[in-house]
A and B are shown apart, each in its own frame.
Chain A
Amino acid sequence: MTNSMQALSEHAVTSFDIAIIGAGPAGMMAAITASATGAKIVVLNDKPSVGGQIYRNVDRSPLVDSSVLGKDYLAGADLVAQFNQCIDAENNNVQIFNNANVWHIGDDGELLFSYNGQSNSVQAKQVIVATGAMERPFPIPGWHLPGVMSAGSAQVMLKSDALVTDDAVFVGSGPLLYLIVAQYLRLGVTVKALIDTTPKTNYVNAMSKALNALAQPSMLIKGVGLLNEIRRSGTPVYRFVSELKITESAQKADSIQFICKGEQVTLNSDQFFLHQGVIPNLNATRALGIQHHWNQQQLCWQPTLDQWGCSDVEHISVAGDSSGIVGADGARLMGHVAALNCLSKLALVSQTERNNQAVDSLRQLALLNRFRTFIDRLYQPQAAHRIPRDEATVVCRCEEQNVQQLKYEFDRGAKGPNELKSMSRCGMGPCQGRMCGTTVSELLADWREEPVGDVGYYRLRSPMRLLSLVELSKFNTLSAPPPEVVQIHTGSQQ
């Protein structure tokens, strides 16, 4: 903690060997690995404490008994403790800034970030982007209404503020959804219903990868266990549903309607939680301009990387879920591997040493990835919930652009995401396309009848976060001369 108190003075430029963005399992493990060599490291974390979303508050849970959150969550405490040891180590080579929002990563290794209302600059020889995952947007009618949130939000609120809500309806597919429902039930919070949108065909498709799943029997048992736990509780579970629609009353979500077993069902509630898996959080890597490609297995964009997590820009690596969804264990392993590779590029470890130290992690990663092929197929979100057909469904929440408005601009010639953005303002709001970008790529691919990979994504630029003009105006090192020139003209500075 002492290190983060040592705040960078206004406009300070400081140099590091490695800058790590994010302090989830990948970022923490990268820092732990690299710190052993004495490399000078800075960790820029946009949360108040370390752990990422998955291990959020694991060392300071507001819950009386955090064991209800499950063993996988509690296991993060070891990693957090190990990371904190690095921070407190005597040689002081790892600095962390919590609540630090990176808003620019230059291809010259300069990083700009907001901290305590001020922008600061650091210089790094190697950058590891470990910004994690975000939940896949769930564009169905009414998903923009107050009272509709993502299931991940329910978990975040539980972990950070011990907040729960009774009689909510959980909708979607995937392990995270079943986990939060199970956590609610363990805490005695009533759940109105679980609406499982996993299509029947997914079970068949996943069977072809069942052997891969058997390679990780414990993970398979975990998933089945959660579903059994929910069923045993007596919580109504609706499966194989279609035609989801959230309706409003007095400008708030009021009910969800859907078809189950050929019958129209309506459930009333004032809180709905949606989830259909997670996708890489790519605004940092997109703004950096490194190469990305469409992953058809995970139906998401991901940066194009070598086995060490290194991108086509030599000093930029990506680790963890922001490199493609790998899960918490995979993220930890990737953080290890990416850090070793950075150290080798900095000549702090030899290439042989890098290879020797990484061999175990790379092998475990390969095993996890085999299991993931099964999970990805089983919980592949339905086309109907990714590529909205209903004309009134909001695609861009910030600028309130719906399917009909986007189709109109498409017909007028907006064939690519950037043209669509210019013509409709879709993706131009404060979230900078985070909530609509993937949907827009898939919608355009559908309308063009071309692969998503050919359609592409928005061209993003810095700043990657909201920045007040007051903060920007106080910051004047953007065009600062290189350090050696600063030395000569010391007198004229400030």
Chain B
Amino acid sequence: MFRSLRNTDCEQVAVNINGNLFQVPAGSSVWAALALAKDTITRMAPVSEQPRSAYCAMGVCFECLVEIDGQPNRQACLTQVSAGMHIVKQNIVQSSQAEVAMYQPLCEGNSKGKTHD
């Protein structure tokens, strides 16, 4: 179990990790926030669908891929926390189905098809 040796009087920010609110030191990496929250499973392995967690904590292994503010495949160790950030364990695996609602049918005219900015 990880613990922090940092001064407790340092500036804190609130982040949401898998639906729970935590106060973590400003400037922490997302991975450090997960470690302090004792919620260290970052993603599911895409083939075996087993839980995985960070290995290198320095941007090399890509094991700590999480969803941050709705965007998947973010490296928790290379991303710094910001106030109000939503961090969610990444559940995308081989058998995942894309959410059909995300896609607008292209044949329904250009105005509707252009959803990205």
A162 and B4 within 8 A (CB): yes
> A48 within 8 Å of B by Cβ?
yes
B62 and A431 within 8 A (CB): yes
> A434 within 8 Å of B by Cβ?
yes
Residues of B within 8 A of A148 (CB): 55
Residues of B within 8 A of A435 (CB): 55, 60-62
Residues of A within 8 A of B58 (CB): 53, 134, 152-153, 156
B interface majority secondary structure:
loop
A146 and B52 within 8 A (CB): yes
Contact with A along B92-108 (1 / 0, CB 8 A): 00000000000000000
Q: Given the complex of chains A and B, what is the CA–CA distance between A166 and B52 in angstroms?
A: 21
Cβ-neighbour of B60 out of A163, A164, A252, A431 (below 8 A): A431
Q: Given the complex of chains A and B, what is the CA–CA distance between A146 and B61 in angstroms?
A: 13
Indicate whether A165 sits within 8 Å of B75 (C-beta atoms), given known contacts A399-B47, A430-B65. Answer: no
Indicate whether A466 sits within 8 Å of B73 (C-beta atoms), given known contacts A62-B25, A146-B52, A149-B55. Answer: yes
Residues of B within 8 A of A157 (CB): 2, 31-32, 35, 57
Q: Given the complex of chains A and B, what is the CA–CA distance between A175 and B78 in angstroms?
A: 25
Indicate whether A429 sits within 8 Å of B56 (C-beta atoms), given known contacts A48-B80, A161-B29. Answer: no
Cβ-neighbour of B1 out of A146, A165, A466 (below 8 A): A165
Residues of B within 8 A of A166 (CB): 1, 3
Enumerate A63-78 residues with CB–CB distance to B below 8 Å. 63-64
> B7 within 8 Å of A by Cβ?
yes
Q: Given the complex of chains A and B, what is the CA–CA distance between A430 and B52 in angstroms?
A: 14
> B116 within 8 Å of A by Cβ?
yes
Chain B residue total in the interface (Cβ 8 A): 44
> B6 within 8 Å of A by Cβ?
yes
- Please tell me the size bucket of the interface on A: 35 or more
Cβ-neighbour of B59 out of A46, A163, A251 (below 8 A): A46
Residues of A within 8 A of B2 (CB): 157, 163-165
Distance of B36 from chain A, by nearest CB (Å): 7
B60 and A165 within 8 A (CB): no
Q: Which of A48, A63, A162, A468 has the most CB of B within 10 A?
A: A162
Q: Given the complex of chains A and B, what is the CA–CA distance between A468 and B116 in angstroms?
A: 13
> A397 within 8 Å of B by Cβ?
yes
B56 and A150 within 8 A (CB): yes
Contact with A along B62-75 (1 / 0, CB 8 A): 11010000010101
Distance of A272 from chain B, by nearest CB (Å): 11
Residues of A within 8 A of B47 (CB): 399-400
B residues whose Cβ falls under 8 Å from a Cβ of A = 1-7, 10, 25, 27-29, 31-32, 35-36, 40-41, 45-48, 50-63, 65, 71, 73, 75, 77-78, 80, 116
Some 25 contacts from A to B, beta carbons below 8 A apart, are A46-B59, A53-B58, A62-B6, A63-B6, A99-B78, A146-B52, A150-B55, A152-B56, A152-B57, A153-B55, A153-B58, A156-B57, A161-B6, A161-B28, A161-B29, A162-B4, A163-B32, A163-B35, A251-B51, A397-B63, A398-B46, A430-B62, A431-B60, A431-B62, A434-B60
The 8 closest A-B pairs by CB, nearest first: A153-B57, A146-B53, A161-B32, A162-B6, A430-B62, A431-B62, A162-B5, A400-B47
